[in-house]
Amino acid sequence: MTEYVSHIHPVAAILVHAAIPLTIILVYALVAIWGERKIAGFIQDRLGPMRVGGWHGWAQSIADLLKLIQKEDIIPTDASRFLFKFAPFMMFAASYAAFAVIPFSSAYVGSMVNIGVFYLLAVTSLLTLSIIMAGWASNNKWSLLGGMRSAAQMVSYEVPTIASVLTVVLVAGSLNLMTVTEMQSGNDILGFLPNWFIFQNPFLIVAFIIFFISILAESHRVPFDLPESESELVAGYQTEYSGMRWAMFMLAEYADMLLLSLLGATLFFGGWNSPFGDFMAGPLWGFFWFMLKGLSLVIVMMWIRWTLPRYRVDQLMHICWSILIPLSFVNLVLTALWEVIF
């Protein structure tokens, strides 16, 4: 498909490649926001949205979106106007741009770059910048505190994320996410298990656990949702935002969550590979399996959110610097040894 589109016209190709992830993100965000509220309701013995649209309030997110579009766009008097307006879009752009290298199915990846993993990690670092931008530009002390916390948190947690991703890269020997996925096809482990990296050696299981904890922190989910912890910092860097700009933050947050979950699915759970070998395989089934794996991780993240309390900022740093980072590097070295021996 990639080749087919680029035969028509280069600009058309770019537009098509930009539209596909955008559609996926928008549809996903509408479903995920509704889904999160439903899951929260299920966990908390209540119903969640039930009215809008008839069946279990399925249209709630659409109604919310329409409401947010109509809201007045408030910019605080002493805010740094340009940065204030720019920050939400930059945040969304950062996670959106990273979708370019995600292989959605065996037939489709936005851009087949050899340094896919590297590009993805680099682009998502821009999220930190946009959050600091939002926190500083709001000219609000709570926002500033939220922004600073977020910067500290994301910079710290990038280290274990990258170290655990490196573990996979070490085993796969490639930074191209498509190649990484292709290496995981087949069902050879113990005769029936798929060749996913998580089953391939014990250190990759540890790597996945570190990776998952780190992406919880990277995407600001409980128990690491300190930048926007509503009971301490009011709403963190989002305090002064309203209407559509606030919606952009929400969208970016959900997009980021999906992005990191999909990355996890690609690196550890075989990406678009079917768990049954050749059965139910193929480009469309591949997309189905890929989204299923990614969304399962998203649901686990939601489940954790509605169960656990929140860490304090110094405890969060402690977990990162004195537990996860040493562990992830030891794990990296051990994986390298395993690769040499077997």
Q: What does the binding site for another protein look like in residue numbers (CB under 8 A)?
A: 40, 43-46, 139, 141-142, 145, 149, 222-223, 225, 229-234, 306-315
Structure tokens at 38: 């439903």
Structure tokens at 108: 């489709």
State how far the Cα of 111 lies from the Cα of 7, in Å rounded to an integer.
15
Reported residue count of the chain is 342
State how far the Cα of 333 lies from the Cα of 214, in Å rounded to an integer.
19
**SS3 assignment, position 244:** helix
Instruction: Output the smallest distance, CB 75 to another protein, in A.
Output: 18
Cβ–Cβ under 8 Å, residues 138 and 237: yes
Nearer to another protein, 156 or 273 (CB): 156
Nearer to another protein, 44 or 111 (CB): 44
Instruction: Output the smallest distance, CB 246 to another protein, in A.
Output: 16
Instruction: Output the smallest distance, CB 148 to another protein, in A.
Output: 9
Nearer to another protein, 90 or 137 (CB): 137
Instruction: Output the smallest distance, CB 40 to another protein, in A.
Output: 8
Alpha carbon distance, N-terminus to C-terminus of the chain: 38
Cβ–Cβ under 8 Å, residues 26 and 65: no
Cβ–Cβ under 8 Å, residues 95 and 101: no
Nearer to another protein, 12 or 74 (CB): 74
Tell me the residue type at 214.
S
Q: Name the residue among 320, 4, 3, 2 with its Cα closest to residue 162.
A: 320
Nearer to another protein, 230 or 339 (CB): 230
Instruction: Output the smallest distance, CB 189 to another protein, in A.
Output: 34
Nearer to another protein, 232 or 244 (CB): 232
Instruction: Output the smallest distance, CB 111 to another protein, in A.
Output: 38
Structure tokens at 265: 């699915």
Instruction: Output the smallest distance, CB 70 to another protein, in A.
Output: 24
Instruction: Name residues whose C-beta falls within 8 Å of residue 170's C-beta, 6 or more positions apart in sequence.
Output: 332, 335, 336, 339
Nearer to another protein, 70 or 77 (CB): 77
State how far the Cα of 121 lies from the Cα of 335, in Å rounded to an integer.
21
Exposed/middle/buried for residue 228 (C-beta within 10 Å: 0-12, 13-18, 19+): buried
Nearer to another protein, 52 or 232 (CB): 232
Instruction: Output the smallest distance, CB 304 to another protein, in A.
Output: 11
